[in-house]
Structure 1
Amino acid sequence: MSATHRLETLDIVLNGLMRRYKERVPDVGVILNAMMANGVVPSADNIENDHIAFRTMGVANLGVQSFEKIFLHYGYEKRDHYFFEGKKLDAWWYSPPRETDPRIFVSELRVNDLSEESQRIIRSYTDEVTADPVDALDLDNGAEVDAFLHQPLWRTPTVADYKSLLLESEYAAWVIYNRYYLNHFTISVHNLPEGYNTVAAFNEFLEKNGIRLNTSGGKIKVSPDGGLLQSATIAEMINAKFANNEHLEISGSYVEFAERKILPQFQNIPPAEITRRHRRDGFEAANADKIFESTYTTQTGK
Structure 2
Amino acid sequence: MKFTDQNPLSYFLNELFSRYRKAVPAVDTITNALIEHQVVGSQQEIVNDHVAFRTLGLPYLGIGSFEKIFLRHGYKKMEQYHFEEKKLNAWWYAPPAPVYPRVFLSELLVGELSSNAQEIINGYTSHIQKDPVDELDLNSGEQIAEYLHRPLWDLPTKKDYETLLGESEYAAWVIYNRYYLNHYTISVHTLKPGFSKLEQFNAFVEGLGIKLNDAGGKIKTSGDGLLRQSATVANMVKAVFAGGEQKEIAGSYVEFAERSIIPGTERYRDGFETSNADKIFESTYTSQIK
Specify the TM-score bucket, using the shorter chain as the normaliser. over 0.9
Cα drift, residue 7 of structure 1? 7.9
1:296 to 274, 281, 285: 285
Change beyond 3 A, Cα 1:225–1:7:
farther
1:178-226 CA distances to partner (integer Å, 9 max, x unpaired)? 0110000000000000000011110010011111100000000000000
The Cα shift of 1:123 comes to 0.4
Query: Taking structure 1 as reference, are residues 7 and 19 closer, same or farther at Cα in structure 2, changes over 3 Å only?
Result: closer
Q: Which letter does structure 1 place at the counterpart of 2:117?
A: S
Q: In the alignment, which residue of structure 2 is the partner of 1:285? A: 274
Shift of 1:15: 0.2
Q: Which runs of 5+ in 2 are unaligned?
A: none
| Residue equivalent to 1:128 | 127
SS in 2 for 1:217: coil
**Residue 264 of structure 1: SS of its match in structure 2?**
coil
The correspondence of residues 104-123 of structure 1 with structure 2, limited to 5 A, is: 104-123=103-122
TM-score, normalised by the number of residues in structure 1: 0.94
- 2-structure distance, mates of 1:208, 1:57: 36
User: In structure 1, what residue type is equivalent to 2:285?
Assistant: Y
**Alpha-carbon distance in structure 2 between the residues aligned to 1:279 and 1:171:** 30
The size of the alignment, in residue pairs, is 286
Structure-1 residue corresponding to 2:37: 38
CA contact (8 A) 1:49 1:188 kept: yes
Higher helix proportion (structure 1 or 2): 1
The corresponding residue for 2:227 is 228
**Does the 8 Å CA contact 1:7/1:74 hold for their aligned counterparts?**
no
SS in 1 for 2:201: helix
Letter of the 2:140 partner, please give it. Answer: N
> Residue 128 of structure 1: CA displacement?
2.0
Structure 2 residue aligned with 1:243? 242
Q: Distance in 1 between matches of 2:178 and 2:222?
A: 29
Question: Do 1:214 and 1:299's aligned partners in 2 also have CA atoms closer than 8 Å?
Answer: yes
Query: Take 1:227 and 1:102, find their aligned partners in 2: how far apart are those partners?
Result: 18
2:198 matched residue in structure 1: 199
Give the letter for the 1:199 counterpart: L
Listed as ranges, the matches of 1:146-295 within 5 Å are 146-266=145-265, 278-295=267-284
Q: How far apart, CA to CA, are the structure 2 residues paired with 1:265 and 1:119? A: 49
Instruction: Work out whether 1:52 is the aligned partner of 2:41.
Output: no
Q: Hey, which bits of structure 1, 4+ residues long, moved more than 6 A?
A: none
User: Aligned partners of 1:233, 1:23: CA distance in 2, in Å?
Assistant: 16
Task: Check conservation: 1:52, 1:102, Cα contact below 8 A.
Answer: yes
- Give the distance between the partners of 1:224 and 1:250, measured in 2 at CA: 33
RMSD: 1.0
| AA partner of residue 101 (structure 2) | P
The CA distance in 1 between the partners of 2:125 and 2:50, in whole Å, is 27
Find the counterpart in structure 2 of residue 73 from structure 1: 72
State the alpha-carbon separation in 2 of the partners of residues 55 and 7 from structure 1: 26
1:150 and 1:23 map into 2 onto residues whose CA distance is: 14
